[in-house]
């Protein structure tokens, strides 16, 4: 999970500013240049849920995925008798941060006991932030959202 937390104080930027500024190429280069760091992350419990249905097909078509939604698509591997068409697509995402995350952090702190002690930095998610969940192997963004703070 990548969290982009705007700075606090005078002249600070907003979450909306971050969202407008971070286009896909820019985000990819920023993530690549970002150093790894171990942090203690503190969030209030939160849950973000979204569903895409009608707009998903048009988005997929803009991404050149037109064939699955055409009448000429061959779906005989799914329905050998034919007659199967894709007429809709739904994507539902749920991001939930709760005690499970805190438990994982507590387990990690026990393991740190065998390593040299380093000053621990804390990131407090006590205001609105942008988040991305990405696959480290492919570097693909799996989900993204905006949390509009407590």
Same domain, 61 and 121: no
Cβ atoms of residues 98 and 114 within 8 Å? no
Among residues of the chain, what percentage have pLDDT more than 90? 0
Whether the predicted pLDDT of 116 surpasses 60: no
**Residue 141 burial (10 A CB sphere; 0-12, 13-18, 19+):** middle
Among left, alpha and beta (phi > 0; psi -120 to 50; other), residue 83 is: left
pLDDT tens digits for range 91-102? 888 888 775 544
pLDDT at 127 over 60: yes
Range of the domain at 63: 54-89
**Can you tell me the distance from the alpha carbon of 138 to that of 33, in angstroms, rounded to the nearest whole number?**
16
Query: How does DSSP classify residue 32?
Result: H
The alpha carbon dihedral of 34, 96, 125, 107 has a sign of negative
pTM (two decimals): 0.61
pLDDT digits (tens, 9 = 90+) for 45-75: 878 888 888 788 888 888 888 888 888 888 8
* One domain, residues 117 and 138: yes
Which residue among 89, 114, 138 closes a domain?
89
């Amino acid at each position: 999970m990548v969290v982009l937390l705007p700075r606090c104080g005078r002249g600070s930027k907003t979450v909306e500013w971050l969202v407008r500024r971070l286009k896909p190429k820019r985000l990819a280069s920023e993530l690549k240049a970002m150093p790894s760091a171990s942090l203690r992350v503190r969030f209030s419990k939160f849950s973000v849920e979204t569903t895409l249905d009608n707009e998903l097909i048009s988005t997929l078509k803009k991404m050149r995925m037109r064939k699955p939604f055409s009448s000429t698509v061959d779906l005989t591997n799914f329905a050998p008798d034919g007659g199967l068409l894709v007429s809709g697509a739904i994507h539902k995402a749920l991001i939930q941060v709760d005690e499970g995350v805190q438990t994982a952090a507590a387990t990690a702190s026990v393991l740190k006991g065998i390593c040299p002690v380093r000053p621990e930095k804390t990131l407090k998610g006590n205001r609105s932030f942008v988040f991305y969940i990405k696959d480290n192997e492919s570097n693909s963004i799996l989900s993204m959202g905006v949390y509009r703070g407590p």
